Structure 1
Amino acid sequence: MTGIIVVGVDGSETAMKAARTALGMAASLGATLHVVSAFDSDRTEVFGSGSDTWIVSDAGNAEKIAKNVASSLRTAETPVTYSAARGKPAEALIAEAARTNALMIVVGNRRMQGIGRVLGSVANSVAHNAPCDVYIAKTDSAK
């Protein structure tokens, strides 16, 4: 089987656990893993010192997170791509899954217990609105 599995990351260890789970699934299915990091604003800051100028943006930070995770997961057997996507995390994952015609979205179960379950979570929103299958990885305990 071929196709794309989308996983969302935010730089946290729980997101990394979900990404490792997604990599295993992609390898098993012969799919490409697509790592996505969301950004919700176009905030940009410019820093300078002498003739040097640096531009830091939310989109750039999100892309850096996705790229770092993708680089750490890349194997010879499983293709891994990455992108930054605009929107709240659940919206961004759903949009990327639709854009790439993904087979599946993998998310962690963080914030699915206690008050987070009442207020909502990324996993809950994705599960109810995804255009494809959703796998909720257990990320709230040591593996």
Structure 2
Amino acid sequence: MTGVIVVGVDGSETAQRAAESARNLALALGAGLHVVTAFDGEGTVVFGTGSDQRVVTHEENAERTARDAAVELSSPDLKVAYSAVQGTPAQALIDQAEKHNARMIVVGNKRMQGLGRVLGSVANSVAHHAPCDVYVAKTAS
């Protein structure tokens, strides 16, 4: 298999587990890996006080999260790219899969049991609207 596998990260432990599963699949299948972090809106966060302030946008935070995960997942045998995308996590994954003509999207199974299953989850939304195969990695207990 060639092509790209898309996975989303948000800095959480469960997202990291999904990303590790995506990395392992990409290595086994000879595919590239594209790491995506979604961000909501054009907001900013201010760190510090007085003249020692740093203003960081949601987009910058998302890009840092995606970049850090991509660096951690990289190896000499794996091409890893990353992006920050405005929108919901599910829509960001679907959009990036379409943009990169992905072969697969990897999502975690968080919120696929109990009430989360009824209310919906990223995995559920992606599975229903993905333009490619979806692999659900066991990330929640």
Q: Same fold (TM over 0.5)?
A: yes
Q: Distance in 2 between matches of 1:55 and 1:16?
A: 26
One-letter amino acid of the structure 1 residue matched with residue 60 of structure 2: G
Give unmatched runs, 5+ long, in structure 2: none
Counterparts of 1:22 and 1:139, CA distance in 2: 12
Q: Aligned equivalents of 2:61 and 2:95: distance in 1?
A: 19
* Structure 1 residue aligned with 2:101: 101
Q: Is contact 2:45-2:58 (8 Å) kept?
A: no
Cα distance in 1 between the residues matched to 2:69 and 2:17? 11
What's 1:37 paired with? Answer: 37
Cα deviation, residue 54, structure 1: 2.6
Q: Name the aligned partner's letter for residue 65 of structure 1.
A: T
* Equivalent residue number for residue 10 of structure 2: 10
* Structure 1 position 140, deviation (Å): 0.9
Query: Which residue in 2 is equivalent to 1:126?
Result: 126
Q: Distance in 2 between matches of 1:45 and 1:8?
A: 22
Map of 1:19 onto structure 2: 19
**C-alpha distance after superposition, 1:47-76 (max 9, x if no partner):** 6753x6633111111111111111111100
Q: Does 1:71 align with 2:71?
A: yes
CA distance in 2, matches of 1:121, 1:55: 31
Task: Work out the percentage of aligned pairs sharing the same amino acid.
Answer: 61
- Tell which deviates more after alignment, 53-62 or 117-126: 53-62
1:136 aligns with 2:133: no
Residue aligned with 1:75, SS: coil
In structure 2, give the amino acid aligned to 1:110.
K
The amino acid across from 2:26 in the alignment is A
Q: What's the TM-score once normalised by structure 1's chain length? A: 0.92
For 2:33 and 2:63, the matched residues in 1 are separated by 15
Superposition RMSD in Å: 1.4
Alpha-carbon distance in structure 2 between the residues aligned to 1:102 and 1:140? 25
Aligned residues: 140
Which runs of no fewer than 5 residues in structure 1 stay unpaired?
none
